[in-house]
Amino acid sequence: MAMNRWRDEDVLSCFVTVTSDYVVKPLGQGLINQTFLVENVDNNTDKSANGCFVLQCLNHLVFTQPQNIVDNNILISKHLTQLGREYPLAIMMPKASLSGEFLVLINGEYWRALSYVDNCISPQTIDDKAQAHQAAQTFAQFSKALASLSATSLKPVIDKFHDLPDRLLKFSNAISNADSTRLSHAQSLIKQYQLQANFIQIVNELVLELPQRITHNDTKINNLLFDKNSLQPKAVIDLDTCMSGYLMHDFGDMVRTCCSSISEDDANIDGMVFKADIFESLLTGYLSGFDGNIEELEHNSLLIGARLMPFIIGCRFLTDYLMGDVYFSTSYELHNLDRAANQYKLFQLTSDYITKRAS
């Protein structure tokens, strides 16, 4: 998807003086915001040094207070910068508009710009244990670096984002209000989710004790950049949902996106296999990134988090299907239903593996 011509002009002219020097291309795979790379057509090889940057249109139906995202980003990037060599990764710096603003409202839409890191890849899957170890270690380093910033200093961007009781309430409201065709298509999957009362209780009891941290909250593997040549981790990106949370959510989302043999969109779920070796590497990598700075309860919670994230996100896909696809981008009618079935299968496979591992 590309921006409309008029939009290119309107938006670009807030950030650069000669708009004809730049081209705008879609960037990344986000389901919520629209992200673009603004490339300087003056063909220099190092894009980051050549005035290239990332431009993002924030979905203000999802992020009802976009200013909070921007304020959080400023705080995080300042804090990480102050850490100097202690934080070894590249930092996504907010880029001000020509009039000095970090968020601009253009034709009813909110736009912001960020620095761009060139010569990187963001993988969709991880097949290699060493890379899994590195990826988990990198997300852990990110949270560890932010441990010296108070969790309450960040503004909440989406209320109750990974709150299970709240997601279940929304799920049950969606069931009550769904149209009959969608409800009948979803019926058997709804029953499966509803059968998990024991698991839900375990999570509800756990969160009463867990400490709040600054977490990333969207640790999909494609939210990490790796250097194209050295394949070393280069940056943690997509800080939109970075706020107060639990480490088990971050670890769980990594497992969710690295340990399934198929993507979250794949409807062929009979072929799904849980990658146990990748799971073990993620766990050791994550713990090593904290270098001992993790409480015992948090450590133990990681195994619950690995089951929780496919459960919660599957439940959100199913809720959205029942509501008529109002939240996640979809490209066909059953897309959210397929995603929900996929995530439920992953929840089952992860749970089976974790049970087997404990015995």
Compute the distance between CA of residue 108 and CA of residue 151 in angstroms, rounded to an integer: 31
250 contact choice in Mg ion, ligand GN1, none (CB below 5 to 8 Å, kind-dependent)? none
Q: Which of 8, 238, 298, 338 binds Mg ion (CB under 5 A)?
A: 238
Applying CB under 5 A, the span of 106-114, 216-224, 246-254, 282-290 interacting with Mg ion comes to 216-224
Compute the distance between CA of residue 344 and CA of residue 269 in angstroms, rounded to an integer: 10
Q: What is the largest CA-CA distance in the chain?
A: 65
Q: How far is the CB of 39 from ligand GN1 (least distance, A)?
A: 22
Residue with tokens 């959080």: 72
Token pair of 116, please? Answer: 């761009």
Q: How far is the CB of 160 from ligand GN1 (least distance, A)?
A: 12
Closest CA to 116 of 250, 241, 240, 234: 234
Taking CB under 6 A as the criterion, which residues in 205-234 touch ligand GN1?
A: 218
Residue 216 DSSP code: -
Closest CA to 50 of 115, 120, 122, 121: 115
Specify the residue, 12 or 349, whose C-beta has the smaller distance to ligand GN1.
Answer: 349
Half-sphere exposure of 348 (CA within 13 A, CB side): 14
Compute the distance between CA of residue 77 and CA of residue 338 in angstroms, rounded to an integer: 37
Compute the distance between CA of residue 21 and CA of residue 2 in angstroms, rounded to an integer: 17
Q: How far is the CB of 235 from Mg ion (least distance, A)?
A: 14
Kindly state whether residue 30 participates in binding ligand GN1, applying the rule CB under 6 A. Answer: yes
Q: Which of 2, 31, 41, 326 binds ligand GN1 (CB under 6 A)?
A: 31
Helix (H, G, I), strand (E, B) or coil at 24: strand
Applying CB under 6 A, the span of 28-36, 66-74, 172-180, 270-278 interacting with ligand GN1 comes to 28-36
Would you say 38 and 119 are in contact if contact means Cβ atoms under 8 Å apart?
no
Phi/psi of residue 5, each to 5°?
-55, -45
**Contact pattern from residue 240 through residue 259 relative to ligand GN1, giving x for each residue in contact according to CB under 6 A and a dash for the rest:** -x------------------
Q: How far is the CB of 223 from Mg ion (least distance, A)?
A: 7
Give residue 222's Cα distance to chain centre. 8
**Contact pattern from residue 294 through residue 323 relative to ligand GN1, giving x for each residue in contact according to CB under 6 A and a dash for the rest:** -------------------x----------
Q: How far is the CB of 302 from ligand GN1 (least distance, A)?
A: 18
Q: Which of 8, 71, 218, 250 binds Mg ion (CB under 5 A)?
A: 218
Specify the residue, 238 or 338, whose C-beta has the smaller distance to Mg ion.
Answer: 238
Q: How far is the CB of 288 from ligand GN1 (least distance, A)?
A: 25
Would you say 52 and 38 are in contact if contact means Cβ atoms under 8 Å apart?
yes
Q: How far is the CB of 239 from ligand GN1 (least distance, A)?
A: 11
Q: Which of 3, 12, 14, 32 binds ligand GN1 (CB under 6 A)?
A: 32
Helix (H, G, I), strand (E, B) or coil at 106: strand
Kindly state whether residue 238 participates in binding ligand GN1, applying the rule CB under 6 A. Answer: yes
Compute the distance between CA of residue 235 and CA of residue 350 in angstroms, rounded to an integer: 28
Question: Contact positions toward ligand GN1, by CB under 6 A?
Answer: 30-32, 62, 218, 238, 241, 264, 313
Question: Contact positions toward Mg ion, by CB under 5 A?
Answer: 218, 238
